[in-house]
């Protein structure tokens, strides 16, 4: 049972354009969401997070949107740069307790120069 899903395994975007990565979840108990960037054979690097009390969080070129009613979040990267090419994972947490994360399946982003 995949509680966090990223339905697009890959995405190609032209440099300078917007990249939109999507993530859906099924567990209504999730109240904290994160995006991580990962290169092969490396650990994930934290990008941005959002609490369920918000619907948007912005940090530089990265913006995360949360639609609780649709159980959907998205990561916008604008403008996209070749260095953004990596695998992006969304993760969800149920907040209290152990704060364990459930990761999505990942989307490989390729930014074309």
Partner 1 sequence: GAVVSQHPSWVICKSGTSVKIECRSLDFQATTMFWYRQFPKQSLMLMATSNEGSKATYEQGVEKDKFLINHASLTLSTLTVTSAHPEDSSFYICSARTGTYNEQFFGPGTRLTVL
Residue with smaller CB distance to partner 1, 17 or 54: 54
**Nearest distance from C-beta of residue 79 to partner 1, angstroms:** 26
**Which spans of this chain sit near partner 1 (rule: CB under 8 A)?**
32, 34, 36, 41-46, 49, 89, 93, 95, 98-106
Our CB check for partner 1 shows the closer of 8 and 105 to be: 105
Tokens of 108: 């490989």
**Residue 36 backbone phi and psi in degrees, to 5:** -125, 150
Question: Pairing state of beta strands 19-25 and 72-77?
Answer: antiparallel
**In the complex, what is the shortest distance from the CB of residue 16 to partner 1, in angstroms, rounded to a whole number?**
28
Query: Measuring CA to CA, how many Å separate 16 from each of 35, 39, 66, 79, 107?
Result: 21, 21, 24, 4, 19
Question: Shortest Cβ distance from residue 68 to partner 1 (Å)?
Answer: 17
């Amino acid at each position: 049972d995949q509680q966090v899903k990223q339905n697009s395994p890959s995405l190609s975007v032209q440099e300078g354009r917007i990249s939109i990565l999507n993530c859906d979840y099924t567990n209504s108990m999730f109240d904290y969401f994160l995006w991580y960037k990962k290169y092969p054979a490396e650990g994930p690097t934290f990008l941005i997070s959002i609490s369920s009390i918000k619907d948007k969080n912005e940090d530089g070129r990265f913006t995360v949107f949360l639609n609780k009613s649709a159980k959907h979040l998205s990561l916008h990267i604008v403008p996209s740069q070749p260095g953004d090419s990596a695998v992006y994972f969304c993760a969800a947490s149920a907040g209290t307790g152990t704060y364990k994360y459930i990761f999505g399946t990942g989307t490989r982003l390729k930014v074309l120069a």
